[in-house]
Structure 1
Amino acid sequence: MTKNLTVGPPLRLIVLFTLPLLVGNLFQQLYAVTDAMVVGRMLGVDALAAVGASGSLQFLLFGFAMGASTGLAIPVARAFGAGDPAAVRRAVCAGILISAGIAVAITLIGTLGSTTLLTWMGTPPELMRSASTFLTVLFSGAVATVAFNFLSSVIRALGDSRTPLLFLVVACVLNAGLVVLLIAFFKLGVGGAAAATLVAQAISVALCLALITRRMPELKLRRRDWRFSPAELGESAKLGLTLGFQMSVIAIGAAILQYGINQLGTEAVAAFTAAMRVDQVAVIPLATVGMAISTYVAQNRGAGQWWRIRFGLFRAGVLTVLLALGLGGVITIFGTDLVRLFVGAGEDRVVAMAHQYLMLNGSLYWVLAILFLLRNALQGLGVTAIPTVAGFMELIARSAVGLLLIERIGFLGACLAAPLAWVAALVPVAIAWFVHRRRLMQAESIAASLIARDGLELAPQ
């Protein structure tokens, strides 16, 4: 079930590891897409706008959990690459403890503070009740979402990107059926859409636990595994909380942007929601390659395979940029048809605004591809400061748009927010990567010199 990414052709390993992740992420994104389609077509544009108005708050809290899970899995992948099963289990135990705290915090903040947060964001009054209901139901089951993200990240850290795909397919099909059932037949409104997602996530957690119990002896925890050192707990907390904070910083910028969009009225909110759903699916391949790179780099760092990090990242970069250009072309050509999946007939103004958003964003997907690649490579190396700086750059860019541009040029300002944020974040990340690339080359030279001198292979570092 596990897969060692430190041996074999780098690009082939990355692609084979990425493909199941890609399909799985597409199915996971179908949670949001299915909810939006059913809500928009069965309950109307106002209900779709209410779900969209809550989107940035979901990103704020659940985005933190997703980022934290990625960070918590890095010590697991590094220990696995170094061939240290005891360290793998201790890293998992530390991650469980931190994840439990995150789940409790998200549940309390989300269920008790959703109405207040929506008010601060300037949510239109006619959307407030539905948006608050959706968030309260969704955050009440935060433990399932946090658990699924953490368990999936740990399984991927051991090189298995295929099995979680099967779980996501089952959960996504169930979610689609439940959304229709709870909205169309039980008349539960937007709360039914949130409840369907929770049930699907809970089933995914159960499947992950069954897999680990039966087929992953590397993760069979013992009492002594919980005796991790303060240094090990500190490293997991640093990586997990830092990466979670990075996602939250980005989400705060998105929330400020949402505030600006909310001032443009229900049609603009609905258009932004529909466009975001399409956009989020389109960029999944780019984000997925980034996720694979994080695990690939972490495992090879643990094994001391420095040349593989540099070589694999270059090859993956060429492939990802070409993929981004292709995706941008598809979005530009078919954007209008895709947006119409989310709204009923007679909403031409909503469709036109959403298509404008997709054309501007799609033309710059290649910038996002490079950002995903380099940021995840740095995180796989254990670098946290620069990606955090990049997150702040995104915050500044999105906030400036939300508070300044939208007021002056309307919905076009919202369309420019993401591309400006990508460029702003890429600058410090690119500089940091070139610095670390030189260090990798120096490490390669030292390793080659030692091997030539002693005639021995270096032990994993």
Structure 2
Amino acid sequence: MTIKASPEAPPAVVPANGLLTSPILPTLLKLAFPNIVAMLGTTLVAVAETSYIGRLGIEPLAAIALVFPFVMLTQMMSAGAMGGGVSSAISRALGAGDRERAATLALHAAMIGLLGGLFFTAVMLLFGRWFFMLLGGRAGVLEQALQYSQVLFSGAVSIWLVNTLSSVLRGTGDMRLPSATLIGTALVQVVAGGTLGLGLAGLPQLGMRGVAAGQLIAFSLGAIFLAWILVSGRSRLTLDFRAFRFQRAMFLDILKVGAISCVAPLQSVLTILIFTRILAGFGTATLAGYGMGSRLEFLLTPISFAFGVASVPMVGMAVGAGLVARARKVAWTAGAASALTIGLIGLIVAAEPVLWVSLFTSDPGVTAAAYSYFAWAGPAFGFFGLGTCLYFASQGAAKVGGPVLAGTGRLLLVGLGGWWLVSIDAPAWTLFALAGAAMVLFGLGVAASVRLTRWGK
């Protein structure tokens, strides 16, 4: 069987030419805006979910902190890593004018999403308890974490399919429909999770299982909707299951970018876990102060993600069409936009940290630690934005080895540097300076890889 392009869809040359010939910055901003809205909406959902979990008690609130890294890892791998590989392969095919190949890649991508979800289900159901115990989960907190995890990850396929099918659409240059779907999914998650978790509207209170069920319901509906869009011919590519034929080369085209890119989320999660573990030895106030800073970083990441994801189809189509100079210009434009936006916010909070810290605490110890973090790490936020955005642009060019190595450098600097600073009883501010230096190393490392790596065939 093969997958064919929809006869109702617009001719491939229309969207391809639009991204190959239009002015770079205006087009990039147009593509990035829907992603910014969707990512910020998703972030606010996490805040809302934490809020009503807090109403369930202290143990559930501690439990979600144990599960959160694995939920983020699932999202980052399916949306940013493998999703980038999907968008890259499809956009390069469209840029080369091969619409049938792009459509064939789309269904192979859906199969990868299905398998990725099943993998996370198996791993978390088999080893979830061990993971949470390794992170310090005990007694009631451990049981609450397992209740949430077992329900959510039993349907990890739905999360992977939403993000994979969204990446298929983004690869064609369509940013609005995936963003609208994610916003709708977020709204359903808030309503369903809060209702089932807290027992609203006369329903029984299911606690953490109900909160997880709300997210599972939302993503299942999102996956069904996106699959219907792609099968019914309402998108630029149509999935025709009746004509499918397994083609090994299609999987390799996606995995040569997506599989390598999956290392990056692992590095990010390990960096955060290592740094958090080190700072825990400096006391609650210092750890909480770092938490204030990392929370802002979490809210700023969607901006860099939005610019980066928007650059993937623009770079991919340009590379597919042999317009390597344009592809590089797109990458540098996106990187500069991300670096300037996030860097400006970083400089503002470095100069006036009270604008952010006062929203969460008035405790003198926590405030002092947060001020110190922003003073040392805030000026480096721009480098983090640059590196993250160029990492996505490199996916579009199918050249992710250098950015992944830059992430490895950041991880090693935090791990080895943090261990050395602790061994000499260095003060906490030196660790905050180390965090900033690691961001600078990451940003410059990715930029160097983009500058020195040959793009194109």
Which range, TM-score by smaller chain?
A: 0.7 to 0.9
**Taking structure 1 as reference, are residues 415 and 386 closer, same or farther at Cα in structure 2, changes over 3 Å only?**
same
The counterpart of 1:285, out of the listed 290, 300, 303, is 303
Q: Alignment identity in percent?
A: 23
The correspondence of residues 194-273 of structure 1 with structure 2, limited to 5 A, is 194-212=212-230, 213-216=232-235, 218-228=237-247, 230-260=248-278
How do 1:26-425 and structure 2 match up within 5 A? 26-40=40-54, 42-43=55-56, 47-66=60-79, 67-123=81-137, 127-185=141-199, 186-212=204-230, 213-216=232-235, 218-228=237-247, 230-260=248-278, 275-329=293-347, 331=349, 332-339=353-360, 357=373, 360-400=376-416, 403=419, 405=421, 408=425, 415=432, 418-425=435-442
Alpha-carbon distance in 2 for matches of 1:45, 1:349: 22
Taking the aligned partners of 1:426 and 1:308, their CA distance within structure 2 comes to 22
TM-score scaled by length of structure 1: 0.82
Q: In structure 1, how many angstroms separate the alpha carbons of the residues matched to 2:285 and 2:330? A: 45
Amino acid at match of 1:399: G
What amino acid is aligned across from residue 258 of structure 2 in structure 1? G
Q: What are the ranges of 5 or more consecutive residues in structure 2 without an aligned counterpart?
A: 1-8
Distance in 1 separating the partners of 2:174 and 2:39:
14
1:446 counterpart residue number: none
The worse-fitting range, judged by mean Cα deviation, of 132-141 and 417-426 is 417-426
CA distance in 1, matches of 2:288, 2:62: 5
RMSD between aligned residues: 3.1
State the SS of the aligned residue for 1:215: coil
* Farther off after superposition, 413-422 or 382-391: 413-422
Q: Specify the code of the residue in structure 2 equivalent to 1:160.
A: D
- Counterpart secondary structure, 1:382: coil
Specify the SS of the correspondent of 2:20.
coil
Aligned AA (2:165) = L
Structure 1 residue 417 displacement after superposition: 6.2
C-alpha spacing 1:278/1:111, structure 2 compared with 1 (3 Å): farther
List per-residue Cα deviations over 1:244-271 (Å, max 9, x = no partner).
Answer: 1222233233333344456667777766
- Asked whether the 8 Å contact 2:335–2:387 carries over to 1, the reply is no
CA displacement 1:82-138 (0-9 Å, x = unmatched): 221111122123222322221111001112211201222344666433333333332
Per the TM alignment, residue 12 of structure 1 is displaced from its structure 2 partner at its CA by 1.1
- Look up the match of 2:3: none
**Equivalent residues of 2:300, 2:342 under 8 A apart:** no
Counterparts of 1:11-22 in structure 2 under 5 Å?
11-22=25-36
Residues 264 and 429 (structure 1 numbering): CA distance in 2 closer, same or farther, change over 3 Å? same
Q: Which runs of 5+ in 1 are unaligned?
A: 341-345, 444-460
**Alignment partner of 1:80: what SS?**
helix
Structure 1 stretches (4+) deviating beyond 6 angstroms?
264-271
Q: Distance in 2 between matches of 1:55 and 1:322?
A: 29
Q: Judging changes above 3 Å, is the alpha-carbon distance between structure 1 residues 241 and 214 closer, same or farther for their aligned structure 2 residues? A: same
Task: Give the direction of change, closer, same or farther, for the CA distance of 1:182–1:260 in structure 2 (3 Å limit).
Answer: farther
Query: What one-letter code is carried by the residue in structure 1 that aligns with 2:260?
Result: T
